[in-house]
Structure 1
């Protein structure tokens, strides 16, 4: 009789097809006080149970799961099923990425939220990867020593240029223009960008938004020292899904709390919103996304000839439309979109506007069967640029009364592109190759890209990837640019039970020659501790550059996560003015000669943070977080500012020590 009433303890992990579920709530049906919430790795433990008790497991957006207790159990595996998985009336068609096997990493939204340095932003999460060589603390990803402009970004198959906001210059809050709540995945190619997308010569980030949302409506509200945001997503009808979000980023609280860090920033704010609609019909799946942004940034700019606030305003919109239909092993897709960006710059005798539109349309035909893929298609990309206003006549005379010149310029660049790509899987190997060509009618130029990939699974835990290709990219910045680059890379992945090693070697040659290596070691000690250490070295134009990153995550108590990060890299370059000439008619000094390239002191940043998951009920949970960036207030130099006659200069610094905190609520309604 005593055994019937013996105390029972159960433990295990809660997962879904997307991975582990931190913050899932488990409780005894007859006594809500006997409960637990899964930690950052999805683990739970509940004591004080008896045989016959019913346990209920709940997580926002997933169907409740219940089971009866008959005895103590360890290492239980509870697989939650999302409401969207229940809806099988019409199959959702997902775009096939032919080169996916050769990607460096595929990041899910859960990976982004669990990354302590990502600030819940997809691109910021990517900048923490070992292949990122971003040096200015923003969300524009630079890969393996190349310029951030050489990276290609594609959202739902549509190219996006410069996917960051002006407010990102504060290095706080949501930085890029992508909403993580709506994200399905971010696939990262730090080298050998997929030929099926093109228009990238360094790496490519392929972002796909969600195909569908749960049957129950999900709501997320966020409040931090820099933003207030809200998103809502769910099902409308039996075959369609809708998501809406809005976010306002402000400066008052952040500036008051971190006055030293933001002493040179007069103001910043951003208002953004978006809508995502998907529907899955017998004639195909359609995904429509519309995004809008108003962005303003005003900072103190000290030039030898003039000092005042430098104002940057931006209006932006992004539209993507995607149609996909499957015919057995074949898939047809059409994507279309347009990116619009209008910017205004005001400082001294500078006052001008730039406008850009980038219409895009593509059609793709794909065959896939048991790992084999054949893909071909056509794409049109138009790039249109306008500049109107006045700019300084002399780059060393910027005061309002100094001479300026009126400008009214426009430029247009279009390309018609064809590509073919194939991937063949044979036992434990995969081979991929493709070719892409672009015809530019204005200049009557023909550009070519080609690519070869190879993947070998030596064992279940050891993989080798190799790639080689030549790539092109066309841009309109201040003038037309055609960048051509060839790349060769070798990547090795070796995984153990509680550790993983990644080693890369790469060579980029063409317009920009770079040779280097990347190493990463990850260690996992049970569910309490994780260490990630990466280093990279590369040589560019005879100069060696290096990066080092250390990330530590520790779970001391249930629902608590502590994290620390250390990042260091070789300082940025600069040139000093060695001689000047005084111009009496303008009362300014003109620099005439500059010294050879010099390097600032190495960059160093140690940051710490803490977060706690909480659950009020089976329909309401959340996350509270706090982060201190640059704890030791390292003076990381980014540029220099001269006095009026160039006889002395000061260092301009990147992020000083700053505090950032916020809270996120997630809830559902029937």
Structure 2
């Protein structure tokens, strides 16, 4: 009996000793370094579920963190701008003097996530753009859609954020945010629908998937490419930013709401008071602009398997700029007010994912130029129900149904004759309203028959209502992956989608595209290569286009902090109309792009981008005659459609930024210079009234922008 009691007492004593050992020290010391062992100054160190327990590293990368009232089952987080986040369980830390190494954030495709939470068609995306790439791309200016321009699949000509992929018109590309379509996803937009920047804030994004060909039918219909943007699912730490620049001021507020939720809010104001005097060449055409916009992002997690995500945005913008149409050149005035909202709810288990997407978009825009005085009002509502099931390691399926409601009203004055726009020309005053539903269902399956092989197939039929015509889109993709990151993908399909009307073309219609593409990809540790061959046959009303293209992309990372990439694209486009064949005006045959960046947050980051392409095609106006009944000159066109070509285009852009830690906060100073060589790249011809003479208008001339961001992050305890 005595022995038994002694054993019990001994066991109790050992338990007490064990508890004592498990207790954390009151203070933890350590150092944060990069891959080479260099100290990182200003890195954030905090406890996951006690964000008030945080600090930043000093000039030697050292930190001292209080662990008072912290339990051993919590997690220590290490973050630094441009580096991958590192987490460590406190219970596994066996030393009071910790050494932590952070690696530069990887920009290569592929992240580790559970299969149930990944988009089912992500395997077949051509590119994935990370947030870091958006900031280091000198052509992107920190904009998610402008960052697409560096990809070989981008055939954009107008220096805008409106993405054109593999020779298709930019208006055919579809952009989705959290599974909800966002039409005309740009601001500072022109009458054609192109816009200088997108509506999205890169700080709020998790990733950006680009489907240059054969876009996934799980999202919706697109007769060209598709870009899928996803906002962040979690917030690493609280962050408060104030930014100011040559043409803007703004703030970003990111705050955790307990362990499972967070909110982000931002607002910006853009103005021209300083920007245009500094960039006088740009001010020759751009006379005035303003933008007031803001957004709200809220994520609420219900445990590990359920969450709700809301994103709301509003904008009020306007601009005055010199424009041209036929023989009239004058001041154009544009304005727009818009707000859109997206909501997503998701619940998942190991094998099941159910998610609901919803969106609402309303806008009011106006445009004045010559006799044109038009107004467009638009409402859009979208909803979808989706279910994904993981049958086994070899088979996934997803089904869903969606409804898109659109109401558009076009009104105002337009020229009676499109070539007579000058004040005093004949006009037509009219109002036209379009209202419709588009209900669709879809089925998509992904099969892994044997090791290395992935096969995906999908169909998306429209469900006709109110006498609509039914259409069936379908696609098939096969991908083979073998050792050392090599993969080969073949995909094809037929796609139908709605034409997005503009003021001078309000006819609703269905456009069609048949596509086939072959892609090879090498995804190595420091080397990324991609070769793509594609063919597309597009149909819009009585016009058909055949597009054949070959593209190549190579990216090499070296000496840890350097990266260079080169892409080359050859494309041949033929348009067929009224029995004649002629070149596609917006698809010159050669595109060459080169990018280089250096990233060392302790010193500075630098990016350079050079782009070259041949000039676009156009049809020559070879004369004009005065028509007294119409009251103006009527141009006569060359019989050789798109038989002329503008001069070659090239531009060199650079960007640089410097992180300056001050105490526990950080200041980022940045500068960008676009078209630094001030090349006069031809854009269009501007004619005199009787077409006897013409002069070229140019794309953006040399443009300088600089700014500063004040970052207020974790506060030491």
Fold shared per TM-score above 0.5:
yes
Distance 1:643 1:68, change over 3 A: farther
Matched, 1:487 2:531: no
Hey, what's the Cα distance between the residues in 1 that align with 2:57 and 2:165?
A: 53
Distance 1:496 1:154, change over 3 A: closer
The one of 684, 691, 702 aligned to 1:639? 684
SS in 2 for 1:101: helix
Could you report, residue by residue, the CA deviation over 1:63-92 in whole angstroms, capped at 9, with x for unpaired residues? 99898999999xx744899xxxxxxxxx99
Q: Does the 8 A contact of 1:320 with 1:335 survive in 2? A: yes
- 2:534 maps to which residue? 506
- 2:296 maps to which residue? 275
Hey, what's the Cα distance between the residues in 2 that align with 1:13 and 1:272?
A: 40
Distance 1:281 1:32, change over 3 A: closer
Hey, what's the Cα distance between the residues in 2 that align with 1:274 and 1:519?
A: 37
Hey, what's the Cα distance between the residues in 2 that align with 1:105 and 1:31?
A: 35
Matched, 1:666 2:690: no
Question: Cα offset for 1:614?
Answer: 2.4
Q: Does the 8 A contact of 1:232 with 1:243 survive in 2? A: yes
Matched, 1:403 2:421: no
The one of 248, 251, 255 aligned to 1:230? 251
Structure 2: which 5+ runs fail to align?
1-29, 46-54, 64-75, 106-112, 540-544, 575-581
The one of 378, 403, 419 aligned to 2:442? 419
Matched, 1:13 2:13: no
- 2:319 maps to which residue? 297
Distance 1:500 1:288, change over 3 A: closer
Q: Does the 8 A contact of 1:553 with 1:563 survive in 2? A: yes
Distance 1:142 1:31, change over 3 A: closer
Q: Does the 8 A contact of 2:647 with 2:681 survive in 1? A: yes
Matched, 1:464 2:517: no
SS in 2 for 1:146: coil
Hey, what's the Cα distance between the residues in 2 that align with 1:408 and 1:10?
A: 64
Hey, what's the Cα distance between the residues in 2 that align with 1:92 and 1:101?
A: 13
- 1:569 maps to which residue? 613
Structure 1: which 5+ runs fail to align?
1-7, 16-20, 38-54, 82-90
Hey, what's the Cα distance between the residues in 2 that align with 1:420 and 1:22?
A: 51
SS in 1 for 2:171: helix
Hey, what's the Cα distance between the residues in 2 that align with 1:552 and 1:582?
A: 54
Question: Cα offset for 1:372?
Answer: 3.5
Query: Larger strand proportion, structure 1 or 2?
Result: 1
Matched, 1:24 2:47: no
Hey, what's the Cα distance between the residues in 1 that align with 2:662 and 2:444?
A: 51
Distance 1:569 1:199, change over 3 A: same
Question: Cα offset for 1:495?
Answer: 4.1
- 1:87 maps to which residue? none
Q: Does the 8 A contact of 1:470 with 1:486 survive in 2? A: yes
Length-normalised TM-score, structure 1: 0.86
Distance 1:409 1:454, change over 3 A: same
Hey, what's the Cα distance between the residues in 1 that align with 2:125 and 2:145?
A: 16
Distance 1:326 1:104, change over 3 A: same
- Number of residue pairs the alignment of both structures matches: 625
Hey, what's the Cα distance between the residues in 2 that align with 1:581 and 1:230?
A: 56
Q: Does the 8 A contact of 2:43 with 2:56 survive in 1? A: no
Distance 1:453 1:565, change over 3 A: same
Could you report, residue by residue, the CA deviation over 1:107-143 in whole angstroms, capped at 9, with x for unpaired residues? 2323322333321111111122111111100011111
SS in 2 for 1:324: strand
Hey, what's the Cα distance between the residues in 2 that align with 1:364 and 1:652?
A: 48
SS in 1 for 2:462: strand
SS in 2 for 1:256: helix
SS in 2 for 1:420: strand
The one of 257, 278, 283 aligned to 1:262? 283
SS in 2 for 1:359: strand
Matched, 1:617 2:663: yes
- 1:51 maps to which residue? none
Rg larger in structure: 2
- 1:447 maps to which residue? 471
Hey, what's the Cα distance between the residues in 2 that align with 1:565 and 1:660?
A: 16
- 2:558 maps to which residue? 525
Question: Cα offset for 1:668?
Answer: 2.0
Question: Cα offset for 1:470?
Answer: 1.1
- 2:358 maps to which residue? 336
Question: Cα offset for 1:667?
Answer: 1.6
- 1:85 maps to which residue? none
Q: Which moved more, 1:340-349 or 1:236-245?
A: 236-245
Hey, what's the Cα distance between the residues in 2 that align with 1:56 and 1:287?
A: 24
- 2:675 maps to which residue? 630
Length-normalised TM-score, structure 2: 0.80
- 2:149 maps to which residue? 127
Distance 1:430 1:580, change over 3 A: same
Hey, what's the Cα distance between the residues in 1 that align with 2:498 and 2:554?
A: 37
